[in-house]
A = this chain, B = another copy of it.
Amino acid sequence: MSTRFDALRARLADINALTSSIAMMDWDQQTYMPPGGADARAEHVGRLSRMAHEALVSDEMRSALEGATGEASTEEEKALVRVVRRDFDLSTKIPTSLVAEKSRLAALAHEIWVKARAENDFKSFAPTLKRMFEIAGEEAEHLGYKQHIYDALLDQYEEGATAADARAMFEAVKPRQVALVKAISEAEPIDDSMLYGSWDEAKQSAYTQMLARTIGFDFERGRQDTAPHPFCTGWSVGDIRLTTRYKPYLGAAIFGTMHEAGHGMYEQGSPMKWDRTPLAGGVSLGVHESQSRLWENIVGRSRPFWEHFYPSLHQQFPELGSLSAEGFYKAVNKVEASFIRVEADELTYNLHILTRFELECDVLTGDLAVADLPEAWNSKYETYMGIRPKSDSEGVLQDVHWSGGSIGYFPTYSMGNLLSYQIWEALGKDVPNTDDLIRKGDFKPILGWLTDKIYSKGHLYTPKELILRATGKPMDPTAYLDGLERKYKEVYSL
């Protein structure tokens, strides 16, 4: 390795130490921190974030990066330079003053949003939200884009993805998904009331850890704790942290764990030689979400999965009574139009996202005023799901994202859903009889294929190139739509 690459790697390693400490503090804040620690935590994270940012945008980094760029020869070196260049550009193109204003506004906006949601008072949040959308627009202009202002924002979260990509995805998905939801709403409803109860938390913890371990999450290189909002984080290929939560709905811990374990196995699958470098880890939010959704929904909500696991689940939770494996399978696949995105089932979830994407685009292009967002939101819910929120708290005010300035983020959730089925289809061509494997509780061939094609690639390719290599085609909604229709027509006897 040449001297200039060494200089770049040394700088990156310092930045990695700082960002790792921030991730660790964030994990602690959401799992174990006592209330009294909040003020110091905010101060420490703020200072460490500033140091990490300064180290990234420094003149030293610029010249180390330029030096290394000319010397990059291997595929790995070129990928490293590309990834760091992208981070550097994203961090330097937006003026410091705008970054600072956004950061200040986000802190303020969060408090205003919490209060507005609690009091069902969109008007009190509207001016702040308007400014946040303006800032997003200014960011987009600084970042630059070819066709649509949304491109610049989406690209921050999903490299190379454009508004046209997102629109094509949603336009393909919309008619078939809306029709399927409508058909289900007219079918015999599924009763999942037996999944609500007072489930022992220690048992849920032990059972969900067993599930995560069995599908392949390595507890020698990770752990699972409890947090109000489940997440997956980490600071080394050797140290990935999952969290879960326990609710009256038994599925919350089970599928929350499967979801986060999917993220976690992706992170654990990076080559150890890339540990603590920008080459390790998931390549984008969309591809990351494809893995959490694949393990949560395609594997975890499948019939063979519960043919294998239900006996042990029933043994741990005899309160399930006379409910059979088949009954459990149906119950965890209940579809119901609902107002709250984070509580939505696999099928209606995309319609929640679609709504948000369309509204974001319209506000950014000036076709919709922020003041008119509540009405537009409610109309779309009526059109896509046949239900109309009775208040803004269960409508336009429900998500935290916009108050934090995460505008352009939502489509990555839907991309993850699509990609999960597309990747599963490709996997099925190389790994025959996945149903049989799952029914036997043998997840090694599945994890092996995913690791080989996706997890072990880290950031070596762009997200689009990775998907092309792994599945043989660009992102395509066919497998997703076909898969959902096949599954839910059977579940609901349509």
Which residues of A line the B interface, CB within 8 A? 13-14, 16-18, 20-22, 24-25, 28, 32-41, 43-44, 47-48, 51, 218-223, 225, 235-239, 275-276
* Shortest Cβ distance from residue A220 to the other chain B in the assembled complex, whole angstroms: 5
Q: Are B276 and A37 in contact (CB under 8 A)?
A: no
Q: Are B47 and A236 in contact (CB under 8 A)?
A: no
Please, which residue of chain B has its CB at the minimum distance from the CB of A33?
B239
Which residue, of A16, A51, A222, A239, has the highest number of chain B Cβ atoms within 10 A? Answer: A239
Tell me which residues across on chain B come within 8 A of A235, comparing CB atoms: 37, 40, 44
Given the known interface contacts A13-B43, A43-B13, A235-B44, the answer about A25 and B36 at a Cβ–Cβ threshold of 8 Å is: no
CA distance A211 to B33 in the complex (A): 21
Interface contacts beyond A17-B44, A34-B220, A40-B275: sample of 9 additional A-B pairs, CB < 8 Å, sorted by A: A17-B47, A21-B21, A24-B24, A24-B28, A34-B238, A35-B220, A36-B220, A36-B236, A36-B238
Q: Are A44 and B25 in contact (CB under 8 A)?
A: no
CA distance A28 to B40 in the complex (A): 17
Q: Are B48 and A18 in contact (CB under 8 A)?
A: yes
CA distance A221 to B33 in the complex (A): 9
Q: Which of B44, B225, B239 contacts A36 (CB 8 A)?
A: B239
* Shortest Cβ distance from residue A51 to the other chain B in the assembled complex, whole angstroms: 7
Q: Are A20 and B34 in contact (CB under 8 A)?
A: no
CA distance A403 to B401 in the complex (A): 51
Q: Are A238 and B44 in contact (CB under 8 A)?
A: no
List the 10 shortest-distance A-B pairs measured between CB atoms, nearest first. A37-B239, A40-B236, A36-B221, A36-B238, A21-B21, A17-B47, A17-B44, A20-B44, A36-B220, A34-B223
Which residue, of A24, A48, A222, has the highest number of chain B Cβ atoms within 10 A? Answer: A24
Tell me which residues across on chain B come within 8 A of A223, comparing CB atoms: 32, 34
Tell me which residues across on chain B come within 8 A of A237, comparing CB atoms: 36, 40
* Shortest Cβ distance from residue A261 to the other chain B in the assembled complex, whole angstroms: 14
Tell me which residues across on chain B come within 8 A of A25, comparing CB atoms: 21, 24
Given the known interface contacts A17-B48, A44-B20, A44-B235, the answer about A37 and B275 at a Cβ–Cβ threshold of 8 Å is: no
Please, which residue of chain B has its CB at the minimum distance from the CB of A38?
B238
Tell me which residues across on chain B come within 8 A of A33, comparing CB atoms: 239
* Shortest Cβ distance from residue A333 to the other chain B in the assembled complex, whole angstroms: 33
Tell me which residues across on chain B come within 8 A of A221, comparing CB atoms: 34-37
Q: Are B36 and A20 in contact (CB under 8 A)?
A: no
Which residue, of A17, A51, A222, has the highest number of chain B Cβ atoms within 10 A? Answer: A17
Please, which residue of chain B has its CB at the minimum distance from the CB of A32?
B223
Tell me which residues across on chain B come within 8 A of A220, comparing CB atoms: 34-36
CA distance A37 to B221 in the complex (A): 6
Which residue, of A14, A20, A218, A275, has the highest number of chain B Cβ atoms within 10 A? Answer: A20
Q: Which of B20, B40, B47, B51 contacts A40 (CB 8 A)?
A: B20
* Shortest Cβ distance from residue A30 to the other chain B in the assembled complex, whole angstroms: 13
A sample of 19 cross-chain residue pairs with beta-carbon separation below 8 angstroms, ordered by A number, consists of A13-B43, A14-B51, A18-B48, A21-B21, A24-B24, A28-B28, A34-B220, A36-B221, A36-B236, A36-B238, A36-B239, A37-B221, A37-B239, A39-B236, A40-B235, A40-B238, A40-B239, A40-B276, A44-B276
CA distance A33 to B27 in the complex (A): 12
